[in-house]
Structure 1
Amino acid sequence: MTRDTGHDDGDERHGTNNTDESTEGSSHSDGVVRTDGGSDIESDDRTATDGGVESVTGGSDSTELDPDAYDPIDVFPEGELDLRDGADSCYKCTSCDTSCPVAEVDDEFPGPKFQGPEQWRLKRKEDADIDESITSCSNCMRCDDACPSSVPLSQMHNEARGQFVEEQMEKLSVEYVRNRILANYRTSARLASIVPRLSTYAMNFGPARWVMDKTLGIPKEREFPEFATTTFREWWRDRGGAQVSNPDKRVAYFHGCYSNYNTPEVGKAMVRVYEHFGYEVMVPPQKCSGTPMFANGMLKDARRHAVTNVENLIEAIGEGADVIASCTSCSMSLRQEYPELFDIHGIEDVSDHTFEALEYLRIHEDLTGALEEASPGDERSYAYHAPCHARNQGLSRQAVETFRDVDGVTMEDVGDSCSGISGTYGWKSEKYEKSMEIGEEMFHHMEDAEGEVGMTECPTCAMQMEHGTGYEIEHPLQLLEDTLVA
């Protein structure tokens, strides 16, 4: 499932269009042209091409180039992540810029094209600093989906953001401390889950939110999600693990941080639905997928988590399991960002074996047949929003297509606009108003929909949907559980 950025092996990879080739009739600095016969011919003027540009090969009268007689020159020296081929594929059509939700509301943001190939070329040619505007990229990755040339834009953004944070951001600044807290949500959530009710109350206490806004730049308008009194992993342990043993049908569940600490009902629904179809569910040890770390340029943190995740997921794959995630940002991270950014043994295997949870069932099970005679038992209407990271995986219509013929269920797609929160982007005071402006179109579509319950696969999109409309938000797996299992 990884993307091909067009890398080729061999000398074609660098400098195939440079202008320093040597030929059989090469020009020397003393103004002498040597011919095959070895004689020297004085030449005061160098031959020009038809366009009036001097030709280093002697123009139309020169002999043919001998490929073995010269060495290519690296215009952009290869680094740890060589994106030369991807940058060369950009022909500046600006499709990425027109698809960028941040550029639409922020006139000062130069857009994905500058943040990607243009900044990449500038950095390697002139050793220039990374432009600070890279921190305004929300990492929605819509630019990847929009590009007709498959330029690895988000990969360039992630690398540039990581380099900016590592080399240029002041480590004692409020912005850095705030971003590090947001990026390492797993740490905060683990501590909060020790006393979940107290943590939920304290973090949403009005004066505390005002203080966080003024001191850390976390917007007071946001309400922190409720922490579960029993985490998913605690529930999994208490129930005794898998209730189905089936070596021929195994999946390893990557639940992510939010389904563990905040919405364990999503993880429980996933387990019950998969066991309904006869799967043996494994829940390997895991850390954060790294998605909020990528968005904040904390690549070293992300790599530490990725090493643990890859190691444990590879072990599960070796036991015959495929990896499934109930969060589309988690599946996107394992599928695309891991192999793009990290060189870890087994990382390609993890990418190739990772699926979003509903997607996997649609591929391997007859969901249509299973749902033909099924019903959740009462009339239900949903306003469905496809997350940006679902769209990037080709999953924007999966929930609508799955439930459109289910008796008693109305599923309305609220359009292709971004929710605006983009993980941690909308959790920054200076970005809050922009995130709400981005999400305005989605809010209007939700309010015009028949139902007053929202649906999405992304936990932060769910936060934004609830924040902007007041609607209750569910995950497709919860409706699938109610329809098939309950």
Structure 2
Amino acid sequence: MTRHTDDGETDEATETDTEDVDGSKSKTPVPGVPEAGRDEQPSIFVPDDGEVSDETTSPERPATDGGVESATGGSDSAELDPDAYDPVDVFPGGDLDLREGADSCYKCTSCDTSCPVAEVDEEFPGPKFQGPEQWRLKRKEDHDIDESITSCSNCMRCDDACPSSVPLSQMHNEARGQFVEEQMEKLSREYIRNRILSNYRFFASIASRVPRLANAVAKIPGAMTLGEKVLGIAGEREFPEFATQTFREWWRERGGAQVDNPDKRVAYFHGCYSNYNTPEVGKAMVRVYEHFGYEVMVPPQKCSGTPMFANGMLKDARRHAETNVENLVAAIGEGADVIASCTSCSLSLRQEYPELFDIHGIEDVSEHTFEALEYLRIHEDLETELAGTELADEQSFAYHAPCHARNQGLSRQAVETFRDVEGVEMEDVGDSCSGISGTYGWKEEKYEKSMEIGAEMFEHMEDAEGDVGMTECPTCAMQMEHGTGYEIKHPLQLLEDTVA
């Protein structure tokens, strides 16, 4: 189903016609979700065997940088067609070749000045070095990836800051994956810790079978201190509670969808946290969408891969992506668009999947994925729906837009949605990063830096009128609660209160 593209109103990353001097029209990109790779050639993470599928290369004429066929036809012939010759062909190409993206960088350092880690960590060289500089070095010699790549939090603010559309986060993801695969000691405490953090879904699925016991164990005095000494997990953190009933258990108990509407279908990608820890967010999503007449599907799914990308576990991420793409493509085939209530999940499906993997159907998933509130703002008249609504009790919220929401052009959506609702006061606490960046702030050696990054947000929250926080990102919610003690809600929960 393509209703979100037929009328041209829903695509956040579209083009507009502009008139040139001679009267002809050309296409000018409009800000929004970046195209896959933001480069001439989407890069592909190739698993264990190191071979690329037949769909990505041509056996007759090997593609070189940017997917441009060699002017020599891939032979050793010295006869060149001057019109077709590409001087980049003198360098050997590769499946993870990001040289053209690196050459687009003109060292303006906009990415460095936008990086929250570089702001608090003097030893971190910044996104420009982690991305373009490393790939330039690698095309000259087989340089090792610098270990500082593990200090990148994967907030992806550098993507939004770059005026030249350099695929910075893609470069970081692949460099981090290469470092972990080839240079990190697999028996080191750091590797084991990172593997555990990035595979949260696996351990959450076990804990959710005995949630009360798991919650009690996490609260035993000294439990987090022990975790810090043994694994290097920050002892100052409070482990999130597991719900006594997961979202999927609730979904099965209620009998699945309560609305049957083949003309309005959405496939809900709930992610790990809304399933195991905050099922109330998933419940709110279902009730709100059913209020607007949507048939909600909940396909089988695994982790979006966001924590795996951040820790360089690309093989793990690919395994999860294969399951997700297969099931989401099936839902799309039944007329559904994909909806995620977590902005990191939606960004992963939209951008990181097609940048890093060559899975069949992955572009369809990218094109059909939306954040939950974003989708309603596109397809429903929320302004009219909310006009005149009034909450029984006045509520004031301190809203934080996650970095991964900003990368999708969604930084103001919650504030704009609720600004005219009687009884709701919504204050934007600024554009600072929360600092936790998924697993980054859970690491012993990164904890103080994460709190230093989040200090500005904490201060703005405490200065806001309300003492309830709001955000679309579950780990940002952890950091907001950790730094202020405020209760944190998701915009879908407020929307449920107003319309459903």
Common fold by TM > 0.5: yes
Q: Which residue is equivalent to 2:491?
A: 476
After TM superposition, list the pairs within 5 Å mapping 1:416-455 onto structure 2. 416-455=431-470
Listed as ranges, the matches of 1:403-422 within 5 Å are: 403-422=418-437
Q: Is the Cα contact below 8 Å between 2:65 and 2:97 reproduced in 1?
A: no
Matched residue, 2:14: none
Return the match for 1:132 from 125, 130, 147: 147
Alpha-carbon distance between aligned partners in 2 of 1:434 and 1:483, rounded to the nearest angstrom = 38
Letter aligned with residue 274 of structure 2: S
Q: CA offset at residue 204 of structure 1?
A: 2.7
Deviation of 1:264 (Å): 0.1
Question: Which gives a bigger RCO, structure 1 or 2 (Cα 8 Å, sep 6+)?
Answer: 2
Of 399-408 and 373-382, the range deviating more from structure 2:
373-382
The equivalent of 1:318 in structure 2 is 333
Aligned to 2:82: 67
Number of matched pairs: 441
Compared CA separation, residues 299 and 373, structure 1 to 2 (3 A): same
Match of 1:112 in 2: 127
Partner of 2:49: none
Match of 1:309 among 305, 324, 327: 324
- How far did residue 124 of structure 1 move? 2.4
Q: Helix, strand or coil for the counterpart of 2:296?
A: strand
5 Å-filtered alignment, 1:166-315, equals 166-315=181-330
Aligned to 2:371: 356
Counterpart secondary structure, 1:377: strand
Within 1, Cα distance between the matches of 2:494 and 2:164? Answer: 38
Return the alpha-carbon distance in structure 2 between the equivalents of residues 479 and 195 of structure 1. 30
| Superposition pairs of residues 382-397 of structure 1, within 5 angstroms | 382-397=397-412
Q: By how many angstroms is 1:10 displaced?
A: 7.0
Residue pair 2:64, 2:93 contacting (<8 A) in 1 also: no
- Unaligned 5+ segments in structure 2 are 1-32, 42-61, 71-77
Runs of 4+ in 1 over 2 A off after TM superposition: 1-6, 8-16, 68-77
Identity fraction in percent: 82
| Cα distance change on mapping 1:239 and 1:118 into 2, 3 Å | same
Cα offset, 1:428, TM superposition:
0.1
Distance 1:11 1:112, change over 3 A: closer
1:7 is aligned to 40
Shift of 1:6: 3.4
2:290 partner letter: E
The residue that corresponds to 1:91 in the other structure is 106
SS at match of 1:80: coil
Q: Equivalents in 2 of 1:330, 1:67: separation in Å?
A: 46
Is the contact between residue 376 and residue 479 of structure 1 (CA under 8 Å) also seen in structure 2?
Answer: no
Deviation at 1:4, TM superposition (A): 5.4
SS at structure 2 position matched to 1:379 = strand
Aligned to 1:38: none
Residue 382 of structure 2: aligned partner = 367
- C-alpha displacement of 1:79: 1.6
Aligned partners of 2:414 and 2:396: how far apart in 1?
13
Question: Within 2, Cα distance between the matches of 1:69 and 1:381?
Answer: 62
For each residue in 1:79-130, what CA deviation from the matched residue of structure 2 results, as whole angstroms up to 9, or x when unmatched?
Answer: 2123122111100000000000000000000000000010011122210110
Which letter maps to 2:404? H
How has the CA–CA distance of structure 1 residues 448 and 171 changed in structure 2, closer, same or farther, with 3 Å as cutoff?
A: same
Asked whether the 8 Å contact 1:382–1:451 carries over to 2, the reply is yes
CA drift of 1:77 comes to: 2.3
What does the per-residue CA deviation read over 1:104-157, in whole Å, with 9 as the maximum and x for residues that have no partner? 000000000000010011122210110000000000000000000000000000
Compared CA separation, residues 177 and 286, structure 1 to 2 (3 A): same
Residue type of the alignment partner of 1:168:
Q
Quick one: distance in 2 between partners of 1:476 and 1:335? 21
User: In structure 1, what is the equivalent of residue 3 of structure 2?
Assistant: none
**Compared CA separation, residues 397 and 76, structure 1 to 2 (3 A):** farther
Q: Distance in 2 between matches of 1:345 and 1:71?
A: 30
Q: Distance in 2 between matches of 1:12 and 1:279?
A: 44
Per-residue displacement from partner, 1:320-343 (whole Å, max 9, x unpaired)?
000000000000000000000000
Structure 2 letter corresponding to 1:209:
M
CA distance in 2, matches of 1:73, 1:379: 62
Q: Name the structure 2 match of 1:400.
A: 415
Contact 1:375/1:484 (8 A) holds in 2 = no
Partner of 2:75: none
Structure 1 contact 143–153 (Cα < 8 Å) conserved? yes
CA distance in 2, matches of 1:456, 1:444: 16
Q: Which amino acid is the alignment partner of residue 181 of structure 1? A: I
Q: After TM superposition, give the deviation of residue 209 of structure 1 in Å.
A: 1.1
Give me the whole-angstrom Cα distance separating, in 1, the residues matched to 2:65 and 2:175: 25
Task: Provide the C-alpha distance between the structure 2 equivalents of 1:308 and 1:220, rounded to a whole number of angstroms.
Answer: 34
Give the AA of the match of 1:318.
G
Q: In structure 2, what is the equivalent of residue 101 of structure 1?
A: 116
Retained in 2: the 8 A contact 1:272–1:481? yes
Q: Is 1:379 the counterpart of 2:412 in the alignment?
A: no
| Aligned equivalents of 2:331, 2:430: Cα separation in 1 | 37
- Do the aligned partners of 1:5 and 1:85 also contact (CA within 8 Å) in 2? no
CA spacing shift, 1:70–1:115, aligned 2, 3 Å: closer
The 3-state SS of whatever aligns with 1:322 is strand
Distance 1:76 1:139, change over 3 A: farther
1:74 CA displacement? 3.1
Q: What's the CA shift for 1:162? A: 0.2
* Aligned partner of residue 445 in structure 1, secondary structure: helix
TM-score by length of 1: 0.88
Cα RMSD (Å): 2.1
- Cα distance, 1:12 vs. partner? 7.9
Residue 205 of structure 1 and its aligned partner are, at CA, apart by 1.8
Amino acid of the residue matched to residue 126 of structure 1?
Answer: E
Query: Cα distance, 1:70 vs. partner?
Result: 7.1
1:355 alignment partner, SS class: strand
How far has the Cα of 1:278 moved from its partner? Answer: 0.0
Distance 1:364 1:112 in 2: 36
Work out the CA distance in 1 between the residues paired with 2:464 and 2:124: 32
